[in-house]
Amino acid sequence: MTERLKERDEALEARSHSLDEVYKDLDSAADQLANLRGFLFLACVALVALFFYKDRVVWFLLSAIIAFVLFLAVAVRHGAMKSKMKRFQVLKEIHLQYIARTRHDFSALADSGEDLQIEKHPFSADLDVLGPKSLFSLISVAHTTYGRTTLRDWLLNASEDGVDKETILARQEAVKELSNKLSSVEEWEAATKMNVSKKGSPQALLAYISDSGISVSKGMMAVRIVCTVLLWVSFVVALIIGKWAFIVPSIFFVLQMLLMAVSYKKNSLFFSLVEKFFPELRAYSNIFTSIEKADVSSTYLNTIKEKLCGSSKTENESASNQLHSLYKRCLLIQARMQPLLYFVLNSVFPFDELCIRLLEDWKATSGKEIPLKLKAIGEWEAVMSLSVMSVIYPDGCMPVILDSETPEFVAKEMGHPLISEEKIVRNDFSLTKGCAIITGSNMSGKTTLLRTIGVNMILAYAGTVCPTKELSLTLMSLGASMRIEDNLGEGVSTFYAELIKIERIVQLSKKNRPMLYLIDEIFRGTNSKDRTDGAWIVLKKLNKPTIIGLMSTHDYELCKMNTNNEVDLVYYHFSEYYDDDGLHFDYKLKDGMSTQTNAKYLMKLVGIDD
């Protein structure tokens, strides 16, 4: 174990111990407050009883009042203490998940991102980006829909033309900063985890903001205001003149009832939508507040904060204050949800219309900004998630993005991020042109090498640490054909399914951008002659100055076809050795072609032999 790994484990253990101690102290204090609250309640009851049974002695009543006031104060304090305990319990759970990530214990990581899968993606399924025991599962600390989808999109950057060096470098700077702020990152994660629903996004609020069909007509508002003014004026005049004058305010009161009945259905539909998003307001306001108060220095993180706080950074422009303003307006609506209050308020005032107007004014001034600010939360959560890699691999490096127009991938001591430190085997690998043909026996490490290169490329373009000593690469598209599945329901054989994947790689190669491809055991679903011929055609098709790639194969005939150096090829292999204990692999990449096979040995091992 390296010195950095030891420091990492000690820091995690110290943080875990600190959270446990704080939680124990809070639990003890909460128990004391609960006991005190119970004592004060009993004292209050006893003093009231003494007041009635001891000739109503005043000091008994005064003491009971004091005990009741103290009871209320202790109850409020106890409630706040329980809320703090809940927060620390969530922090403990979050911290335990960090420890689980360092051990690659995926059973403790609930979010696999499987629901975010994109069909027919150039490499996502092949490289375990999403799904059980995936890269997303390992690093995601996002709880909002925006954070989860943003992280997904960043991990799939290599399939897009829009990724650029400046953006990657900006994310790297942000990741470096958060890498040294584990406790703050856990606090921010706790804020999102405690405040979002299972859906992870404020669907009802967004539905309201996007709905342009609900409003109060100027005519209805004018009629309601005039009717209300005449009702109150005629009522005051009737108080002065006498009984017969009450006929006039009665007429206006009935008119108010009719107007209220006319608008009841439409208004009820509007306020039912408000009821749905009302609980979301405090939750997302809390999330906004936690990020707005964050003390960060990197340009990228401050840009996100600026999106939330507004360019002028005035309180009114901040996302938390905008949602708090909406929350206060919605409190008025809560009053009219009581049938009696609804009747009273709307019969003597244009209450519903005024509430709708207040909400529509908010939508006009602040509503259009909220979806953009919610997306900013997603960016913040995505950067937090990327910073997790530095916790898992403190010895990792931040990749160097080269300015070269030609493809290049150079790594030293490169490991696969989904393999734990105890099992990981690191390899050097360099490729600046053509294709690397990887040979070797079954289970020797060929497929793992391809995936290691692909996943490190994904992490590099996302803007985070890679489990390598050094890594430099140019910006390239990434295509893969590794995990092939047939589909009998659609009449798709394994061979045809692979053809489709290879065709996607070929199409990707036609874009005016450097590319790296990964092809594992090409055309395994057909006969040896067609496999060799087909593989050779693909190699020639992808033999371009802007393309590099790796192809693993058991087909040694393919390795012999490049006699005229028609294609730029370099050969690597994995090997194994045998002893009295059986078959062993070192998983170390070596130059040249393999000459070993182990199929017969493995068949014998499982009981299939001559």
- Residues 343-357 pLDDT 10s: 887 788 888 888 888
State the pLDDT at residue 461: 95
168 domain-assigned: no
Beta bridge partners of 437: 551, 571
**Mean pLDDT, residues 326-338:** 81
223 domain-assigned: yes
**Mean pLDDT, residues 50-73:** 84
Produce one character per residue of 201-211: b if its CB has 16 or more CB atoms within 10 Å, e if not: bbebbbebbee
133 domain-assigned: no
Beta strands 515-520 and 590-591 are unpaired
State the pLDDT at residue 594: 75
Structure-block tokens of residue 151: 């992280």
State the pLDDT at residue 181: 92
In whole angstroms, give the CA distance from residue 77 to residue 83. Answer: 10
State the pLDDT at residue 198: 56
Q: Among the three residues 102, 122, 152, which one is the final residue of a domain in this structure? A: 102
In whole angstroms, give the CA distance from residue 24 to residue 85. Answer: 9
Do 464 and 600 reside in the same domain of the chain?
yes
Cα–Cα distances (Å) from 452 to 76, 416, 437, 472, 524, in that order, read 54, 5, 15, 14, 21
Closest CA to 524 of 505, 559, 496: 496
**Mean pLDDT, residues 112-138:** 92
135-144, 377-386, 409-418, 548-557: lowest mean pLDDT where? 548-557
Q: Is the dihedral of CA 284, 286, 290, 292 positive or negative?
A: positive
Structure-block tokens of residue 276: 């749905």
State the pLDDT at residue 319: 86
Residue 469 pLDDT exceeds 80: yes
HEC letters along 523-565: CCCCCHHHHHHHHHHHHHHCCCCCEEEEEECCCHHHHCCCCCC
Do 546 and 407 reside in the same domain of the chain?
yes
Domain of residue 27, residue span:
1-102
The string of DSSP letters for 476-540 reads: -EEEEE-----BGGGTB-HHHHHHHHHHHHHHHHTSSS-EEEEEESTTTTS-HHHHHHHHHHHHH
Contact 535, 521 (CB under 8 A): no
Q: Among the three residues 358, 382, 406, which one is the final residue of a domain in this structure? A: 382
SS3 label, residue 414:
strand
Confidence at 358, pLDDT banded by 50, 70, 90: confident
Cα–Cα distances (Å) from 226 to 54, 343, 348, 570, in that order, read 60, 19, 12, 87
The maximal CA–CA distance of the chain, rounded, in angstroms, is 118
Q: What is the pLDDT of residues 264-300, one digit of tens each?
A: 777 777 777 777 777 778 888 888 888 988 899 999 9
State the pLDDT at residue 315: 54
In whole angstroms, give the CA distance from residue 561 to residue 528. Answer: 14
Give me the helices (H) in 156-242, please: 165-179, 182-195, 203-210, 218-241
DSSP letter, residue 162: -
Phi-psi category of residue 312: left, alpha or beta, with phi > 0 → left and psi -120 to 50 → alpha: alpha
541 domain-assigned: yes
Confidence at 491, pLDDT banded by 50, 70, 90: very low
- Percent of the chain scoring above 90 in pLDDT: 42
In whole angstroms, give the CA distance from residue 166 to residue 569. Answer: 33
Confidence at 597, pLDDT banded by 50, 70, 90: low
Do 354 and 462 reside in the same domain of the chain?
no
H and E: helices and strands count for the chain: 19, 12
User: What percent of the residues of the chain are helix, what percent strand, and what percent coil, each to the nearest 5?
Assistant: 60, 10, 30
Residue 256 pLDDT exceeds 90: no
> Which residue's structure tokens are 């259009």?
368
CATH of the domain at 475: 3.40.50.300
Strand order in the sheet with 400-402: 400-402, 470-474, 409-414, 427-431
- Percent of the chain scoring above 70 in pLDDT: 91
Do 267 and 405 reside in the same domain of the chain?
no
Burial class (CB in 10 A: 0-12, 13-18, 19+), 128: buried
Contact 207, 273 (CB under 8 A): yes
Do 315 and 414 reside in the same domain of the chain?
no
Do 261 and 370 reside in the same domain of the chain?
yes
Confidence at 527, pLDDT banded by 50, 70, 90: confident
Bigger pLDDT: 185 or 120?
A: 185
529 domain-assigned: yes
Confidence at 610, pLDDT banded by 50, 70, 90: low
Q: What rounded mean pLDDT belongs to the chain?
A: 85
Beta-carbon contacts of 500 under 8 Å, excluding residues fewer than 6 positions away, are 492
Structure-block tokens of residue 469: 């000593």
Contact 570, 549 (CB under 8 A): no
Q: How far is CA 452 from the centre of its chain?
A: 24
111-115, 185-189, 240-244, 606-610: lowest mean pLDDT where? 606-610
Cα–Cα distances (Å) from 147 to 200, 204, 298, 343, 377, in that order, read 9, 18, 19, 43, 7
Do 87 and 37 reside in the same domain of the chain?
yes
> Which residue's structure tokens are 């405090």?
282
Residue 161 pLDDT exceeds 70: no
340 domain-assigned: yes
124 domain-assigned: no
- Beta-carbon count within 10 A of 59 CB: 10
**Mean pLDDT, residues 213-218:** 63
Helices 370-392 and 58-102, packing angle to 10 deg: 60
Rg (CA), the chain: 34
Residue 408 pLDDT exceeds 90: yes
State the pLDDT at residue 159: 65
State the pLDDT at residue 478: 93
Helices 182-195 and 247-292, packing angle to 10 deg: 150
Do 225 and 353 reside in the same domain of the chain?
yes
Q: Among the three residues 77, 102, 127, which one is the final residue of a domain in this structure? A: 102
- Beta-carbon count within 10 A of 295 CB: 8
Structurally, how many domains does the chain consist of? 3
Do 250 and 364 reside in the same domain of the chain?
yes
Cα–Cα distances (Å) from 333 to 222, 223, 227, 265, 348, in that order, read 21, 21, 22, 16, 16
Do 436 and 540 reside in the same domain of the chain?
yes
- Beta-carbon count within 10 A of 255 CB: 15
Structure-block tokens of residue 66: 């004091």
In whole angstroms, give the CA distance from residue 376 to residue 380. Answer: 6
Contact 438, 450 (CB under 8 A): yes
Confidence at 465, pLDDT banded by 50, 70, 90: very high
Do 361 and 431 reside in the same domain of the chain?
no
Tell me phi and psi for residue 345, to 5 degrees.
-65, -40
Do 358 and 419 reside in the same domain of the chain?
no
158 domain-assigned: no
